[in-house]
Structure 1
């Protein structure tokens, strides 16, 4: 049983697992975003135009939605140690492909495949949930998510300097390849340094693979319904890749992808039904039941928190430049630094969101964070060129605090739904964050920034109402040992 102490500066027991696991997440995000700070140099090296640059950026997230679902299943079946180590090692291969690509097509394929490493986040959610008790899991998951997520910012700050240090026209290639080597080496380190559970604890696995188990017919239909937006987002991505100046796919190729996406959807629905039909044919004891509405509501909560963060971080530097360039003479570099303030707060706010959930209740904390981000986005819609820049940045950081805190609050609850399916639940919730990013960025293409912020605020209010239906985790969850005995896991 994990101890009740929480010493962040310790490197033994559960704290060792936390530090090694957030570092695995950190490295996966360095690899996932290693292209962004070097994109202009890469484009110049390979003679890419603006449309091709946008295509590469879009391809980087295309595979992450289905990857998070798949990784969630794999981590529940094989355990975090093997899954994270394998993902880091496998992710180094397309990283090396990207580093030494000699054409746009090779670059695009490598970037598309690298989207899979963005699913690494899901693995650590299960690992941390195994090692920390309910009273500490929010803070631990917040540190894991917040510190690991900083890998994207670290890539932005360090990789240009690394490329300059290597020097020459191929400096960017060696910088990118270095991140792949980091992932490959750390895959070995992680495998030999962690265990899936504390000594004496059982790693519970789903009874059947391929889909989440539910405990009522109503939950089965809700589960099927909640898979629909995942495939809709993939359809939207395909549409964006086959239309306008960023068109990479021909109409025929896009048609094939549409058909494949919805064929997989049909097969997924059949698998969900197959996995659960037998289970639901007999009465499920009350202690083994859980409510799928918990998963569905957290899907929506991460849709608005992390989904809006993905979209806003992408557009904020340009938004600040266009808003204040003429009126106050802001430069592109300054706008980039100001835009980075939204993501930087993640280091502190996400752990704080988890800690507040542990301390004051998960439903209450999540409600406050979503109400705060709705207010913050509405405030950001009121920014004009005449605003003092410090005031605009202060409002942006305040909004970001609620957004990142909300992310922490979501994953403070995820490990407390059903232990043996934590990976699958985290995968689905995490995928909804990417769905939100895709949808909000698509909306941005058709509206002004002010309208964009108002739309996000409006969606947040709807999600806030949905959150009122979530149940506060309390009592115990039941899992069955291999010998048939029941283990009760404390939830509060």
Structure 2
């Protein structure tokens, strides 16, 4: 663990790793969200219908749910250095495919494959956890998440201007192609400038990378239960693409995908059993145990906060436009205040968590999130616009600070499983987004915000079952000796 002072303006040792990692995450989101700002230009250029555009937006997030789990496993096994570099380099290919697409099918395949780059976030969580001590970890992870997450806003601010600079019907192609070039080049920059751990530190790998390890029989069943919502979300996305939704998939293909997801879940059950069957025969020694209940609680919290953020960011311009009769450009700028909060809020959540405790911080922020969305549900045309914007920004603070506080806990549960835990928690954020956006398609704005508020209350209650990370976690070195890693000041 690097011990030098935390200096945000330094660019060496652990601070260099932090800065390069948030830049890598920033680029993944810059590429992943390069479609929305170009939406109308793509629609006109390729002659697409509104339903086809909606389909591309769905496809853009479809692959991210399983991708975050897969990338988490690969990160734990091979290390964040090679996995982040490979992701940035290889995901430039579907980015170029989309920039060169001539019809809907080509664009659809490219957007589906690009969902994989949305998993990049998970990799940096493990990288940062290797370089920062427990008392700085929340702050470092918050900076990584908050500054990296701003890549989506940067895409919205810059890509339309780049497209205009090139001009003509193909301006959007150049703008999107440039994001692919940036991703490709930064993959090499990252690879040649980082290491998985500080010099002399051990990179702990899971005993088996095919499924997550658990350390009790109860946790085995809880893990299988917590896998189900991810498959449910993928089934929901399939339903949206079926004849009952935007009619991209036929009935036959829809039922084939449903069957495939069911078989895949059974296969995952088999894998989890294979990795963990020994716990049914003998108890895991106390020193090597961890509580999967901690992971389940963080999943539920991230479902609510990041899930609601992704959903709200996509609907807020329309919300302000409809409620206050604003023109689309002004509505977009007003709604942008919600996303802009990421730069400060997520690091703040991590910082507060480092200073005042993980659990108490999460309780306060989750309660604030519930109140924030309740107030958003009260906004109507009778409100002054400034008050509605302030309410949205206040709500946004609790949402994004909560995200920072969640990932201040993730690396403190079990070091060698950090990638897998981050992958599952991150995937739950996408499950939340799919769920909330589906809810929005059936209810009005008020009900939408109140449902998120109620979900936050559920998260608040589950937090009472989470234990504050204390003392040390044990990991076994390759030579068989045990290393104890501090996760708090107190035992």
Return the TM-score normalized by structure 2: 0.98
Question: What is the aligned partner in structure 2 of residue 290 from structure 1?
Answer: 290
CA distance in 2 between counterparts of 1:91 and 1:200 reads: 32
The reply on whether 1:98 has 2:98 as its aligned counterpart is: yes
Return the TM-score normalized by structure 1: 0.98
Preserved contact between residue 51 and residue 245 of structure 1 (Cα < 8 Å)? no
1:45-64, aligned counterparts within 5 Å? 45-64=45-64
CA distance in 1 between counterparts of 2:201 and 2:310 reads: 37
**TM-aligned CA deviation for residue 283 of structure 1:** 2.7
1:30-109, aligned counterparts within 5 Å? 30-109=30-109
1:363-402, aligned counterparts within 5 Å? 363-402=359-398
1:30-429, aligned counterparts within 5 Å? 30-244=30-244, 246-325=246-325, 330-429=326-425
CA distance in 2 between counterparts of 1:4 and 1:397 reads: 35
Which of 389-398 and 281-290 deviates more?
281-290
**Helix, strand or coil at the partner of 2:174:** helix
CA distance in 1 between counterparts of 2:315 and 2:101 reads: 28
Preserved contact between residue 416 and residue 491 of structure 1 (Cα < 8 Å)? yes
Question: What is the aligned partner in structure 2 of residue 431 from structure 1?
Answer: 427
Question: What is the aligned partner in structure 2 of residue 462 from structure 1?
Answer: 458
**TM-aligned CA deviation for residue 244 of structure 1:** 4.7
**Helix, strand or coil at the partner of 1:477:** strand
**Helix, strand or coil at the partner of 1:246:** coil
**TM-aligned CA deviation for residue 409 of structure 1:** 0.3
Do the aligned partners of residues 84 and 280 (structure 1) sit closer, same or farther apart at CA in structure 2, a change above 3 Å counting? farther
- Per-residue CA distance 1:261-301 (angstroms, 9 max, x = gap): 11111101110111100355333111100000000000001
- Per-residue CA distance 1:374-431 (angstroms, 9 max, x = gap): 0010001111101100000000000000000000000000000000000000000000
Preserved contact between residue 65 and residue 435 of structure 1 (Cα < 8 Å)? yes
CA distance in 2 between counterparts of 1:61 and 1:280 reads: 37
Preserved contact between residue 302 and residue 432 of structure 1 (Cα < 8 Å)? yes
- Per-residue CA distance 1:330-388 (angstroms, 9 max, x = gap): 21111111111111101100000000000000000011111001001000111110110
CA distance in 2 between counterparts of 1:179 and 1:293 reads: 39
Preserved contact between residue 215 and residue 280 of structure 1 (Cα < 8 Å)? no
**Helix, strand or coil at the partner of 1:479:** strand
CA RMSD after TM alignment: 0.9
Preserved contact between residue 95 and residue 114 of structure 1 (Cα < 8 Å)? yes
**Helix, strand or coil at the partner of 2:211:** coil
- Per-residue CA distance 1:210-231 (angstroms, 9 max, x = gap): 1110000000000000000000
CA distance in 2 between counterparts of 1:384 and 1:487 reads: 57
Preserved contact between residue 163 and residue 174 of structure 1 (Cα < 8 Å)? yes
Which of 155-164 and 415-424 deviates more?
155-164
**TM-aligned CA deviation for residue 168 of structure 1:** 2.0
Q: Which runs of 5+ in 2 are unaligned?
A: none
Preserved contact between residue 301 and residue 406 of structure 2 (Cα < 8 Å)? yes
Question: What is the aligned partner in structure 2 of residue 7 from structure 1?
Answer: 7
Preserved contact between residue 4 and residue 133 of structure 1 (Cα < 8 Å)? no
**TM-aligned CA deviation for residue 440 of structure 1:** 0.7
CA distance in 2 between counterparts of 1:245 and 1:474 reads: 48
CA distance in 1 between counterparts of 2:378 and 2:33 reads: 31
Preserved contact between residue 311 and residue 441 of structure 1 (Cα < 8 Å)? yes
**TM-aligned CA deviation for residue 117 of structure 1:** 0.4
**TM-aligned CA deviation for residue 450 of structure 1:** 0.3
